[in-house]
Amino acid sequence: MDTGSINTAATGTSALSDTRVFQNSLGKEEFLKLLVVQLQNQDPLSPLESQEFSAQLAQFSSVEQLTNIDNNLEESIKSNVVLSQTINNTLATTLIGKQVTAAGNQVELAEGTPAKVSFELQNAAQEVTVTITDSAGNVVRTLEGQGLSSGIQSLEWDGRDDDGIAVPEGIYSFSVKATDASGAEVVSQPLIRGVAGSLLYSGGAAYLRIGALNVSFGDVLEISGGLGG
């Protein structure tokens, strides 16, 4: 018995099996090299059958096609991201000087200027409580409103805490709780409202600057042409 021939044939069979197992994780270059090595080491007395060889060529073709599709898809995604960013940045420049209403629970307190804390009520509310907190989460001021209709509303904050002491200027957070005449909760949405004064680019995205507040385009709810509001 020709032991060398048996070992060589076994090696060729093992290579064929390995190719089938690992082809899904190989790139087209690696797969082609593996196929060439398999042909070089096949048993001359028992060469790779044409049917198996054709099947492996078809598998290689599939790997190459999938690789090309993946590369094309990656390039397409990159192009779409760049296009989207370009459109957003171009649009952003047209919003400077416009009155913007956006979802957000922050309010800026500037020295010597009362701040308007804005929110939207889904339905009319008998009682509205706005709780203003500092950056550490401490309650600074509680504002009360009564008999407010549905829609966008604002309560004025004079910049003082609940003890009547003036607080430092800066950015504060707030929450809104509203109830109707029966005591049932009224859905509310905290808002940021003001004039877009400039743009801020960060991480490839553009943000509107309303005073010292940064507003993402995804949070913008309404844009109007005039100042004020």
- What pLDDT sits at residue 93? 73
Q: What is the pLDDT of residues 122-136, one digit of tens each?
A: 999 999 999 999 999
Mean predicted confidence (pLDDT) in 157-183: 97
The span from the CA of 134 to the CA of 132, in Å, is 7
* Domain-embedded: residue 168: yes
Residue that terminates a domain, selected from 72, 90, 108: 90
Mean predicted confidence (pLDDT) in 66-94: 66
Identify whether residues 35 and 59 lie together within a single domain. yes
Residue that terminates a domain, selected from 58, 90, 122: 90
Least confident of 78-87, 104-113, 197-206: 78-87
- What angle do helix axes 3-22 and 28-40 make, rounded to 10 degrees? 170
- What pLDDT sits at residue 157? 97
Least confident of 28-42, 117-131, 132-146, 204-218: 28-42
Least confident of 73-77, 113-117, 211-215: 73-77
Confidence of residue 14 (pLDDT cuts 50, 70, 90): very low
- Is a pLDDT exceeding 60 seen at residue 167? yes
- What pLDDT sits at residue 81? 61
* Domain-embedded: residue 179: yes
Q: How many domains does the structure of the chain reveal?
A: 2
Q: Burial level of 98, CB count in 10 A (0-12/13-18/19+)?
A: middle
Identify whether residues 24 and 124 lie together within a single domain. no
Identify whether residues 67 and 85 lie together within a single domain. yes
- Is a pLDDT exceeding 70 seen at residue 32? no
- What pLDDT sits at residue 154? 97
CB 121 within 8 A of CB 146: no
* Domain-embedded: residue 214: yes
User: Percent of the chain, pLDDT > 90?
Assistant: 47
Identify whether residues 131 and 219 lie together within a single domain. yes
Confidence of residue 166 (pLDDT cuts 50, 70, 90): very high
* Domain-embedded: residue 178: yes
* Domain-embedded: residue 229: no
Identify whether residues 113 and 201 lie together within a single domain. yes
Residue that terminates a domain, selected from 38, 60, 90: 90
Identify whether residues 170 and 204 lie together within a single domain. yes
Residue of 95 and 72 predicted with greater confidence: 95
HEC per residue, the chain? CCHHHHHHHHHHHHHHHHHHHHHHHCCHHHHHHHHHHHHHCCECCECCCHHHHHHHHHHHHHHHHHHHHHHHHHHHHHHHHHHHHHHHHHHHHCCCCCEEEEECCEEEEECCECEEEEEEECCCEEEEEEEEECCCCCEEEEEEEEEECCEEEEEEECCECCCCCECCCEEEEEEEEEECCCCCEECEEEEEEEECCEEEEECCEEEEEECCEEEEHHHEEEEECCCCC
- What pLDDT sits at residue 11? 43
User: Looking at residue 143, which CATH number applies to its domain?
Assistant: 2.60.40.4070
Identify whether residues 8 and 108 lie together within a single domain. no
Torsion sign across C-alpha atoms 112, 170, 199, 118: negative
Of 188, 173, 207, 155, the C-alpha closest to 105 is: 173
What is the average pLDDT value for the chain, to the nearest integer? Answer: 78
Identify whether residues 149 and 41 lie together within a single domain. no
pTM: 0.61
Identify whether residues 177 and 205 lie together within a single domain. yes
By residue range, what is the domain housing residue 209?
A: 99-224
Extract the tokens encoding 114: 């009362």
